[in-house]
């Protein structure tokens, strides 16, 4: 389930319509962080190039992958500007992100119907993605989870280490390997 797809008329192009000064491009090198959990979420972004992953730290200190962000996706660490990010967002490959000041973009919501529509639509997509992901983690088999991943992220299979995919699906790398084998036998 792709959690945050942005139309070609992305939030950043709308932000630049508001003010050229609030928009810039940031390069996030492989393994570097776009944002870290617990830090103030002051920027909103659109992934121009690359792949990022969202993850949290579990109670035993392990990383739990919760999201993958691909080209065109909106990237935020929190739904509310200037609050602490709820997850880490890290580059899996060298990436380029178009960023703007989150609070400034949000200050234009309800003042400009185009911005309001885009923000509402993108937040609804994020929310739907969260709900779909939760239901799939609780109800689907390993093969079904893997099929859903392939449908939602068709171009990412060979760009993401498989142990991150397994984490994301809530299965072990061995279960992922079995699911891949079972699915390939049915195709």
Average pLDDT, stretch 49-75? 92
Domain boundaries, the chain: 1-132, 140-187
The model's pLDDT over 147-171, given as tens digits with 9 standing for 90+, comes to: 999 988 888 999 999 999 999 999 9
Yes or no: say if 35 and 89 are a contact pair by the CB < 8 Å rule: yes
Three-state DSSP at 97 gives strand
Looking at the predicted structure, is the pLDDT value of residue 93 above 50?
A: yes
**Of 28-37, 71-80, 118-127, highest mean pLDDT:** 28-37
Three-state DSSP at 25 gives strand
- Please tell me the CATH superfamily of domain 1-132, with its number: Jelly Rolls (2.60.120.10)
DSSP symbol at 44: E
pLDDT higher at 39 or 131: 39
Yes or no: say if 81 and 106 are a contact pair by the CB < 8 Å rule: yes
Looking at the predicted structure, is the pLDDT value of residue 16 above 50?
A: no
Average pLDDT, stretch 61-73? 91
Candidate from 5-14, 51-60, 117-126, 136-145 with smallest mean pLDDT: 5-14
| % of the chain beyond a pLDDT of 70 | 88
Yes or no: say if 110 and 116 are a contact pair by the CB < 8 Å rule: yes
Backbone angles phi, psi at 53, to 5 degrees: -130, 145
pTM of the model: 0.81
Average pLDDT, stretch 82-91? 92
Other C-beta atoms closer than 10 Å to the C-beta of 91 total 22
Other C-beta atoms closer than 10 Å to the C-beta of 41 total 21
pLDDT band at 6 (very low <50, low <70, confident <90, very high): very low
Three-state DSSP at 59 gives coil
């Amino acid at each position: 389930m792709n959690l945050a797809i942005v139309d070609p008329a992305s939030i950043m192009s709308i932000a630049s319509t508001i003010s050229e000064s609030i928009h810039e491009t940031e390069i996030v090198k492989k393994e570097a962080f776009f944002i870290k959990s617990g830090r103030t979420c002051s920027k909103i972004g659109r992934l121009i190039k690359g792949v990022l992953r969202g993850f949290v730290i579990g109670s035993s200190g392990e990383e739990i992958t919760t999201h993958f962000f691909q080209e065109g996706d909106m990237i935020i660490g929190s739904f509310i500007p200037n609050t602490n990010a709820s997850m880490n967002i890290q580059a899996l490959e060298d990436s380029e992100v178009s960023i703007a000041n989150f609070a400034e973009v949000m200050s234009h919501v309800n003042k400009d119907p185009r911005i309001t529509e885009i923000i509402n639509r993108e937040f609804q997509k994020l929310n739907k993605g969260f709900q779909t992901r939760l239901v799939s983690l609780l109800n689907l088999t390993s093969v079904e989870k893997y099929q859903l991943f392939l449908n939602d992220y068709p171009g990412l299979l060979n760009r993401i280490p498989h142990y991150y995919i397994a984490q994301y699906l809530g299965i072990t790398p061995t279960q992922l390997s079995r699911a891949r084998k079972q699915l390939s036998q049915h195709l």
